[in-house]
């Protein structure tokens, strides 16, 4: 399952499938579940969908599209959701996806952890949740916890909300440093303006951290200044700053850290910002620019760190090496 703090509709692949990803477990069959119940078109959950339609039987249909072009379409229903031996919740609204296409290769579905009314944390009335994505080369599994205390050594930042975009979890970021030096990026670049635009969110469903072009250019130029001793390797896909480290067993790179309002600092591990993109020793700076107003802290920068969302107290915590 994909974990996504940037959306609100939880869905699983369902039989019969018109187009589904190849998944390791059997695809869910609604007809085999005694607790599965289709939602009617006049149900409150159906009315809360951004995109919905009615089938001939007057059952609710949903559609969710994602920023990378992926989408899921199917029935909207309620089902009992169980968390192993930790308990279960009845009548949770989920999507039963019959047509699922895009880049979620190998996924059986998506757990929506956003801040909207239909997200899983909202429906089960969770006061907090946390996850930890293991490193790319780890044989262990990533974890998701609800209503558990965050680690005591967490770097705490304000969790901000935007009434015009209730799904997203904004964070109070005041700046970024490279090589121990704060970059000359105005704090306003990371703030929501009066129209509800801008700001920076923590998004587990986006891989690469996206910064406004002016902020990204400043970060990249500073990083390049500190890495002139490394052999340049041009660009790769959306990355414009890459290095050929094939002949090196060890490379020195500048430190990089996020600075939050309240004075807290989160230093990133080098593996969270200089990543391998092929098997030939090419590594790239794992940030990218965006022409949009919204900046995003993606999951590459979150790997190996337990990210805790204290919904009751509007705080987000980052705890490196707590998977």
Contact 78, 91 (CB under 8 A): yes
pLDDT in tens, 160-211: 999 999 999 999 999 999 999 999 999 999 999 999 999 999 999 999 999 9
Give the per-residue pLDDT at 87: 84
The residue ranges of every structural domain in the chain are: 2-125, 155-320
> CATH for 155-320?
2.40.70.10
Quote the CA–CA distance of 305 and 143 in Å, as a whole number: 11
Q: Measured between alpha carbons, how far apart are the two ends of the chain, in Å? A: 17
Contacts of 257 (CB under 8 A, 6+ apart): 176, 177, 265, 266, 267, 268
Q: Do domains 2-125 and 155-320 have the same CATH topology?
A: yes
Q: Residue 268 burial by CB count (10 A; 0-12/13-18/19+): exposed, middle or buried? A: buried
Q: List the one residue out of 249, 240, 269, 248 whose CA is nearest residue 257.
A: 269
Quote the CA–CA distance of 89 and 283 in Å, as a whole number: 44
Please name every residue paired with 63 in a beta bridge, in sequence order, or none if there are none: 73
For this structure, is 203 an active site residue? yes
Collect the ranges in the chain with pLDDT lower than 70. Answer: 136
Give the per-residue pLDDT at 135: 79
Give the per-residue pLDDT at 140: 85
Give the per-residue pLDDT at 67: 87
Topology of domain 2-125, per CATH?
A: Cathepsin D, subunit A; domain 1 (2.40.70)
For this structure, is 68 an active site residue? no
Which residue among 68, 203, 221, 240 is the active-site one?
203
Which residue among 4, 25, 42, 321 is the active-site one?
4
Contacts of 2 (CB under 8 A, 6+ apart): 104, 107, 109, 110, 111, 205
The two beta strands, 282-285 and 242-244, are: antiparallel
């Amino acid at each position: 399952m994909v974990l996504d703090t940037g959306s609100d509709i939880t869905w699983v692949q369902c039989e019969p499938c018109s187009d589904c990803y190849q998944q390791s477990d059997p695809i869910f069959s609604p007809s085999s579940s005694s607790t599965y119940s289709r939602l009617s078109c006049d149900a409150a959950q159906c009315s809360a969908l951004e995109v919905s339609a009615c089938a001939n039987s007057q059952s609710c249909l949903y559609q969710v599209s994602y920023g990378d072009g992926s989408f899921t379409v199917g029935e909207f229903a309620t089902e009992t959701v169980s968390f192993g031996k930790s308990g279960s919740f009845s009548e949770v609204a989920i999507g039963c996806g019959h047509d699922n296409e895009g880049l979620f290769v190998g996924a059986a579905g998506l757990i929506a952890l956003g801040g909207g009314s239909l997200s899983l944390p909202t429906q089960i009335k969770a006061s907090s949740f946390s996850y930890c994505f293991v490193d790319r080369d780890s044989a262990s599994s990533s974890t998701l916890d609800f209503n558990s205390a965050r680690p005591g050594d967490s770097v705490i930042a304000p969790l901000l909300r935007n009434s015009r975009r209730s799904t997203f979890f904004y964070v109070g970021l005041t700046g970024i440093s490279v090589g121990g030096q704060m970059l000359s990026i105005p704090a306003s670049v990371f703030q929501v303006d009066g129209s509800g635009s801008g700001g920076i969110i923590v998004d587990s469903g986006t891989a690469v951290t996206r910064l406004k072009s002016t902020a990204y250019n400043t970060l990249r130029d500073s990083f390049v200044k500190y890495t002139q001793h490394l052999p340049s390797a041009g660009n790769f896909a959306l990355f414009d700053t890459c290095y050929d480290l094939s002949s090196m067993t060890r490379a020195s790179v500048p430190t990089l850290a996020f600075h939050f309002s309240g004075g807290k600092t989160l230093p990133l591990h080098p593996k969270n910002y200089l990543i391998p993109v092929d098997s030939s020793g090419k590594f790239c700076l794992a940030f990218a620019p965006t022409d949009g107003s919204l900046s995003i802290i993606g999951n590459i920068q979150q790997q190996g760190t337990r990210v805790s969302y204290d919904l009751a107290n509007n705080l987000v915590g980052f705890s490196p090496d707590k998977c």
